[in-house]
Structure 1
C-alpha cells in the first residue's frame, strides 16, 4: 500500500491559473507521494477559468481529490436548467468571464436560453459533465474536506447539497465536531486581519485567501499545518 507523505489542500482558484501552477510548484507537489485535495471554485472571476478546470481534471487523473464549489453549482444550474434568471445570477458572480474563456458571450448564451435551448461547444459540455459528477466532500480519519462547511447539527448523510456548498455563519460559529473541517468559500480576511490560513479555535481551518480579490492563494499541508502561498 502506498504511503502518503503529506496531505495538501487548495481551494478557490477562481480562474487564476498562473497562481495555481506556481503554488503547486512552490509546495513541491508530487502525486506519487502526496494526496492533493481541491475544494472547489475553479471557475469565475479570474483570468482563465477554463485553464483551471483543465488543470484540476489533469490533477484528478493523477490521484487528486476534486470537490465541487458553489461557483460550479451556479455554473451547472445556469447551463443545464435553461433558466435566464440562473444564468444572470451566475454572470453577476463571474460567470460571464468563464463563458468568455470558452469563447462564448453572455449575451449570446442568454438569448439562446430564452429561446429554450443552448448550443455549447464540446469542451464546455465535457467540463460541465465533469462538474456535475464532482463530490461534495471527502474525509480521512482526522479531517473532513468540504467547500463551504457542514451543518453542525447534522451528520453528512443528513445534510443537503446546498449546505456543503454555501453555509457560513452556523458552521463557523457552532461547529465543535471531533474531525477538523478544512474549508474554502469564506475568504479568511473576513475571519481575521489577514489572508493567511485561518485556524479556528473550534476545530475548523479556512484556506480561502481571496486570491482573486487581491489576497493570496493558500496551500495547507497536513498534518504539519505548514502553509504555502502565492
Structure 2
C-alpha cells in the first residue's frame, strides 16, 4: 500500500453542496498517494444537509474509503443526539431555522404545518416531545443509515506533523492532549486558542470563522505557530470554502478558495498571527 503524500483538508461545509462538489472535483482519490480529511459540520445552515452528508458517506464507504476520513463536528453531534433521544434533544428542532435541515431529509414534509404545530405547543413539553419523536421517526425511516454512520464518526485524525480536529484540543494537556481527552472540546471548543503550545503538532481545525480571527477579516485560512484554522464560512455571503492541501514531503500547506462564483488558483498558506 502506498503511503499518502498529499493530504487534502475540507473544513466546515454547512449544507452548501455546490462548493463541496467543486472542492471534491480537485481531489483525485484514485491516486493512492492522496488522503482526504473533512473536518465536520457538513450539516445545518444551508439547503443540502442530506446531500452533503451522503456525498461524504459515499466516499468514506467507497472503494477509496480507506483514505477518506470524515470527522465529527458539533452539528453532526447535535443531530446525532436528536436522532438518539428526540424527547431529550427536542430543542434541535427549534434551532433549525425555517426547518431547513429537517426538510433536506424530508423534502415532502409540510414545513408550514410543522412550524405551526411547534409554535402552538411551545409551552407544553409533553407535546413538544411527541412532535420531536414523530419527526425523528420519519427521518430514520427515510434514511436508516444515518444513526450508524453518525455514531462511527471519529473526533480527530492524527498525522506525524499535524492533528486534524473540528474545533480544537485541551492544549494544557500538552503532548497528552489526545489521551482521555474530552470529546466535547474537540467539537465545541470556543473561543479558539492561538500561538505556541506543547501538543507537539500543528492543530488543524475549523469551527470558527476565519473572518472573526484574522486581523484583516478575510475568509482565508489563519495560520500561527501552533494552529491552522480553515473555516471560511461558505454559508456566509462573504464566505468561501478553503480547500487545503498538505505536501508531506515539503511540509508546506496550500489552499484554494472555493465559492459559487469560482475557484482561485492555489496559494501557499502564510502566517497571519494576531
Residues 93 and 99 of structure 1, relative CA distance in 2, 3 Å threshold: closer
Structure 1 gaps, min length 5: none
Question: Are positions 1:220 and 2:239 aligned together?
Answer: no
Equivalent residue of 1:218, what SS? strand
CA contact (8 A) 1:45 1:95 kept: no
TM-score for both structures, normalised by structure 1: 0.88
Higher relative contact order (CA 8 A, sep 6+): 1
State the distance in 2 between where 1:10 and 1:221 align: 9
The gaps in structure 2 that reach 5 residues or longer are 119-126, 259-274
- Partner Cα distance (2:163, 2:87) in 1: 33
Which range moves more in the overlay, 161-170 or 191-200?
161-170
Give CA-to-partner distance per residue, 1:195-217, whole Å, 9 cap, x none: 0011123x110010001012000
**Structure number with higher helix proportion:** 1
Separation in structure 2 between the aligned mates of residue 225 and residue 50 of structure 1, nearest angstrom: 30
Higher CA-based Rg: 2
Measure, in 2, the Cα distance between the counterparts of 1:194 and 1:134: 30
Deviation at 1:29, TM superposition (A): 2.9
Q: Call closer, same or farther: CA 1:115–1:168 in 2, change over 3 Å.
A: closer
Structure 1 position 30 matched with structure 2 position 29:
yes
- Give the number of aligned pairs: 227
* 8 Å Cα contact 2:233-2:240 kept in structure 1: yes
Matches within 5 A, 1:77-96: 77-83=81-87, 86-89=89-92, 91-92=94-95, 96=99
The answer to whether the Cα contact below 8 Å between 2:195 and 2:227 also exists between their aligned partners in 1 is no
Q: Contact 1:151–1:171 (CA<8 Å) still a contact in 2?
A: no
Alignment CA distance shift 1:79-1:28 (3 Å): closer
1:156 aligns with 2:178: yes
1:70 aligns with 2:82: no
Aligned with 1:101 (options 100, 104, 114): 104
Seen in structure 2, the aligned counterparts of structure 1 residues 90 and 177 have a Cα distance that, compared at 3 Å, is farther
SS in structure 1 opposite 2:167?
Answer: coil
Q: Give CA deviations for 1:148-188 in whole Å, capped at 9, x if unaligned.
A: 00011222122111111100236346744220111010111
Equivalence for 1:44: 44
Instruction: Output the aligned Cα RMSD.
Output: 2.4
Map 1:43-192 to 2 at 5 A: 43-61=43-61, 62-63=64-65, 64-83=68-87, 86-89=89-92, 91-92=94-95, 96-103=99-106, 104=109, 105=111, 107=115, 113-114=129-130, 117-118=133-134, 119-121=137-139, 122-154=141-173, 155-169=177-191, 171-172=193-194, 175-192=197-214
